[in-house]
Amino acid sequence: MTDIEAPAADPTASRGRPRPDTTIERDEKVLAAITEAPGTRKQLVERLGLAGNEVYLSLYRLSRADPPKIVKNGSTWQTRDYVAPKPAPEAPAAPTE
């Protein structure tokens, strides 16, 4: 018998067919909007002017990326490294006479 070596798996190969350019651009647009200001799917639909199913699919792909680019916090989508701004400290009350 002869030794037959299987071809090495290409680490850059992905599963399935390549994504269309419009899908890639839409995912980038959704990621940019979330990076700018986190929001719910409905808020993203209103801000971006996209169809609800398009935003849903982009959110799904971005959350399932390796590593995930976005996470869901309650109903709000945000980037993994998002830190909520701290509220401004309240001004001390003026003394009353």
CA distance 85 to 93: 23
Q: If pLDDT is split at 50, 70 and 90, which confidence band does 12 have?
A: low
Q: Which of 93, 68, 94 is nearest to 82 (CA)?
A: 68
Q: In 10 A of CB 23, how many CB atoms? A: 14
CA distance 82 to 70: 9
pLDDT per position as a tens digit, 25-41? 999 999 999 999 999 99
Mean pLDDT of 52-70: 92
3-class state of residue 71 by DSSP: strand
Fold of 21-79: Arc Repressor Mutant, subunit A (1.10.10)
Name the residue ranges covered by the structural domains of the chain: 21-79
